[in-house]
């Protein structure tokens, strides 16, 4: 095939992978803004989600080397940019943050849905 893109592969066992996807989905109510960017999405989360987003982004980057994940604290919360050089990764990014972003609810975060269970 001859492309230089990193392969789409996750090093987590299936159950842990599903659990981690659930953690991303639990952050939906904490999204403030989102936008499609080249190769993925940029999402800003409410400040109360900062530590969870940073931890989850760190763990996701460790298990899914095909993703480029950058978090940046901002005055409005924390900005997460998740992209990939591999265009076949877009469905994965959509599953984690993109599809959630497109269904984003513009409301205050729901503290009961935010789990601070850092590993």
64-89 tens-digit pLDDT: 999 999 999 999 899 999 999 999 99
| Torsion from C-alpha of 49, 50, 55, 56, nearest 10 degrees | 50
Q: Residue 99 pLDDT > 60, yes or no?
A: no
How far, CA to CA in Å, does 60 sit from each of 25, 64, 84?
Answer: 13, 6, 13
Residue among 71, 55, 91, 115 nearest 82 (CA): 71
Summarize pLDDT for 12-26 with one digit per residue, the tens: 999 999 999 999 989
Assessment of whether the complete model's pTM goes beyond 0.85:
no
pLDDT score at 95:
86
Q: Give the 3-state secondary structure of residue 77.
A: strand
Using an 8 Å Cβ cutoff, are 81 and 40 in contact? yes
Residue 7 pLDDT grade (very low, low, confident, very high; cuts 50, 70, 90): confident
């Amino acid at each position: 095939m001859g492309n230089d893109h990193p392969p789409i592969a996750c090093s987590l066992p299936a159950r842990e992978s599903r659990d981690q996807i659930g953690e991303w989905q639990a952050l939906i109510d904490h999204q403030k803004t989102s936008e499609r960017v080249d190769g993925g999405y940029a999402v800003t989360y409410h400040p109360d989600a900062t530590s969870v987003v940073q931890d989850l982004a760190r763990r996701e980057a460790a298990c899914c080397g095909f993703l480029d994940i950058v978090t940046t604290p901002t005055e409005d919360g924390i900005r997460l940019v998740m992209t990939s050089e591999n265009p076949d990764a877009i469905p994965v990014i959509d599953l984690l943050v993109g599809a959630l972003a497109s269904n984003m609810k513009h409301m205050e975060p729901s503290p009961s849905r935010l789990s601070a269970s850092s590993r």
